[in-house]
Amino acid sequence: MSFKSHILSAFLAGALATTAFSAVNAAEDTIKVGVLHSLSGTMAISETTLKDAMLMLIEEQNKKGGVLGKKLEAVVVDPASDWPLFAEKARELISVDKVAAVFGCWTSSSRKSVLPVFEELNSILFYPVQYEGEESSRNIFYTGAAPNQQAIPAVDYLIANEGVERFVLEGTDYVYPRTTNKILEAYLIAKGVAKEDIIVNYTPFGFSDWQTEVAKIKEFGSAGKKTAVVSTINGDANVPFYKELGNQGIKATDIPVVAFSVGEEELAGLDTKPLVGHLAAWNYFQSVDAPANAEFIKQWHAYTKNDKRVTNDPMEAAYIGFSAWVKAVEAAGTTDTDAVLDTIIGTSVPNLSGGYSTVMPNHHITKPVLIGEIQGDGQFEIVQQTPQVVGDEWSDFLPDSKDLISDWRKPMSCGNFNVATGKCGGKGS
């Protein structure tokens, strides 16, 4: 090699090294955050909005200077309503993209799919949707409602305020509805409801032929006792379900429906006039009258450039989870998983209903429970609001879980501690 060639080679090597160093520095100047929501398939109707909400929250945080002096960078993936694909995408986010935390999932099937990945790779998932309980993982924060923060208060409302004596537990056929309805059936029987006054039915994801099913509901409600439907129908199956209720003339005054997966976003695609008076149970509605909510709605409309875009409960749960993560990272001085897990318990952040939500030792949060009545404009009139309720990860109404608690603080650090035996049963998931 000539002297000139040697000098050129040395220069190129130095330039490449400088470029590589600059690339590493650029990467280190941002903190990557994973966004894991279905943007296609049957759950896109609900999850796309959560992706948009996360991007807005990240943008707003970056306007404040980011986190630890670094900008946040969103890494968005589409698991396409395919539960095994959620696990693949989660592994990719953690191992390849090196995200500091992930915000995502909607169905319990998707959460169950990714749970072992987060535990294996020791990363953090913030899960922003109501779920069935019976789980507590060191690596997951459940910012949506547990059954005692939604399902049980909903049936209590139906009994006390609507005089309901017969219950149709109607759900989509997967983990969340099946476990929630198991808890509800045990709870209702404990409350004195006769077993023959409860029917349980499941239909597949994306189910659309509701004529026969709704006819069965109508027949069950004709027995002379006040009847209600408790709906754990998820995704785009809600559109034809509510349409068929209207087709068959089922009004809220006859057979009220209380839904756990229908909010403002889902109603935006429906003719709501025949549904006026039907109910939903959540921990937030867009109609909440609070300055924090008014500011959030204003930010949402500005971000989407659309004053008609609605807000909903899972958006608030995402907001709470994101705020808690930012606060914990700032307090820990690092995004390191173990440090954040130690710091975040006890963290309190504003919610959108004018109060605060606190991350509890069981990785659930405190939330008020709101019952809303559907209005003609697709919004909800809040007819009941409870004080703050602590999410109960293990149901008091199932024999296998009534003695279990979760506490991820040291030295216990257990997700299913049995208070009867004094022993930890394992990871808790």
Examine the pLDDT at 269 and tell me if it is beyond 90: no
pLDDT at 98 over 50: yes
pLDDT of residue 69: 97
10-64 tens-digit pLDDT: 433 443 343 333 333 344 689 999 999 999 998 998 899 999 999 999 999 999 9
Mean pLDDT, rounded, of the chain: 91
pLDDT at 426: 59
pLDDT, residue 28, reads 67
Query: Residue range 61-70: average pLDDT?
Result: 98
- Mean pLDDT is lowest, of 29-38, 213-222, 223-232, 272-281, for 272-281
Q: Domains, the chain, ranges and CATH?
A: 148-282 (3.40.50.2300)
- pLDDT at position 377 is 92
Return the higher-pLDDT residue of 163 and 1: 163
- What is the arithmetic mean of pLDDT over 231-252? 90
Between 228 and 428, whose confidence is greater? 228
Q: Give the confidence band of 161 by pLDDT, cuts at 50, 70, 90.
A: very high
In this prediction, residues 73-78 reach a mean pLDDT of 98
- Give residue 232's pLDDT: 95
| pLDDT at residue 253, rounded to an integer | 93
- Kindly report, residue by residue over 319-339, the tens digit of the pLDDT: 999 999 999 999 999 999 999
What secondary structure, in 3-state letters, does the chain show? CCHHHHHHHHHHHHHHHHHHHHHHHHHHCEEEEEEECCCCCCCHHHHHHHHHHHHHHHHHHHHCCCECCEEEEEEEECCCCCHHHHHHHHHHHHHHCCCCEEEECCCHHHHHHHHHHHHHHCCCEEECCCCCCCCCCCCEEECCCCHHHCHHHHHHHHHHHHCCCEEEEEEECCHHHHHHHHHHHHHHHHCCCCHHHEEEEEECCCCCCCHHHHHHHHHHCCCCCCEEEEEECCHHHHHHHHHHHHHCCCCCCCCCEEECCCCHHHHCCCCCHHHCCCEEEECCCCCCCCHHHHHHHHHHHHHHCCCCCCCCHHHHHHHHHHHHHHHHHHHHCCCCHHHHHHHHCCCEEECCCCCEEEECCCCEEEECCEEEEECCCCCEEEEEECCCEECCCCCCCCCCCCCEEEECCCCCCEEEEECCCCEECCCCC
Which band of pLDDT confidence, cut at 50, 70 and 90, is reported for residue 394? very high
* 16 compared with 94, residue with greater pLDDT: 94
pLDDT average, residue stretch 303-324: 97
Percent of the chain at pLDDT > 90 equals 86
Rounded average pLDDT over 87-110: 97
Task: Render pLDDT for 112-160 as a digit per residue (tens, 0 to 9).
Answer: 999 999 999 999 999 999 999 999 999 999 999 999 999 999 999 999 9
Which pTM does this prediction carry? 0.88
